[in-house]
Structure 1
């Protein structure tokens, strides 16, 4: 919440071009989901605060693997009650950070699932919570999107490495 009581979202973009995104952490067996989110906010965006225990939403995204194939991963998005922002932080020379309203963030983000979560913050509707395919060797992706919200008869399949 900013000084006027309006909700804001921190987005990051690489200094050398690229798309807007939120601070992100990979799964770790040594940290909880909340600890990982807190660490990512500090290291990637230079923001400190308290991570909300209830997620804002979840979506399924495709991540490129080293071998060139794509893997479906479930992404959980948490809110952060911000206590302060740093002038200098571990990744400050690599990224540009910007605070924006959820409506602006929803149109600035390229990743469909994250865009849907921001749009749900604007509308007040609960986002659809997609599920990862269980024990599947291929992942069905509808409409080129993996947000879990699209429904189209066109399906593309990605095989594992």
Structure 2
């Protein structure tokens, strides 16, 4: 029985596809009147579910630069993107042939400072700015939900700290 279990395990490993890596941009802006973070969500082209801009690695571009490029192509936004990811999440990517592959998405925050009227996927997606709670509610991937809510706390904590330091003259 032991040899049979080993054969089954080896066959399973032979057909297991490696995790593919993608890069995503968590596009955000800060509300001016009260400290609040808004996230830009877009719809996927195939299922219409709410997602963040993301895509495959690009030759000659760093991971963060590829994420920024996806943000422009898919959502028409530009801004300052962090070189360091805030985390990652997994999801199953449906491929045109009907196969599904596991993807690990490294997520880079990008503060948006420009919204373009024309961009490559303008007529293929919808985009909406929503608060972090609503963004976490809309996305399906549990890891992305967690990232969004943790990111909001980090940004708001930074705003509070800056306000306190400014108020004390530090």
Shorter-chain-normalised TM-score: which range? 0.5 to 0.7
In 2, are the aligned partners of 1:15 and 1:94 still within 8 Å (CA)? yes
Deviation at 1:72, TM superposition (A): 2.1
In 2, the alpha carbon distance for the partners of 1:7 and 1:52 equals 16
Which residue of 46, 61, 64 maps to 2:91? 61
The superposition leaves residues 113-143 of structure 1 with CA deviations (integer Å, 9 ceiling, x where unpaired) of 211211323455xxxxxxxxxxxxxxxxxxx
Q: Is it true that 1:78 corresponds to 2:108 in the alignment?
A: yes
In 2, are the aligned partners of 1:15 and 1:96 still within 8 Å (CA)? no
Residue in structure 2 matched with residue 97 of structure 1 by the alignment = 127
Deviation at 1:31, TM superposition (A): 1.5
TM (norm. structure 2) is 0.64
Rg (Cα) greater in structure? 2
Residue in structure 1 matched with residue 69 of structure 2 by the alignment = 39
In 2, are the aligned partners of 1:55 and 1:78 still within 8 Å (CA)? yes
In 1, are the aligned partners of 2:42 and 2:75 still within 8 Å (CA)? yes
Note the 1:18-33 alignment, pairs <5 A.
Answer: 18-33=48-63
- What SS does the corresponding residue of 2:105 show, helix, strand or coil? strand
Residue in structure 2 matched with residue 3 of structure 1 by the alignment = 32
In 2, the alpha carbon distance for the partners of 1:68 and 1:92 equals 25
Pick the structure with more helix per residue: 2
- What SS does the corresponding residue of 1:3 show, helix, strand or coil? coil
C-alpha distance 63-99 of structure 1, shift in aligned 2 (>3 A) = same
Deviation at 1:78, TM superposition (A): 0.9
Deviation at 1:49, TM superposition (A): 0.6
Any unmatched runs of 5+ in structure 2?
1-29, 155-170
C-alpha distance 77-16 of structure 1, shift in aligned 2 (>3 A) = closer
In 2, are the aligned partners of 1:50 and 1:81 still within 8 Å (CA)? yes
Deviation at 1:75, TM superposition (A): 0.7
Between Structure 1 and Structure 2, how many residues are aligned? 124
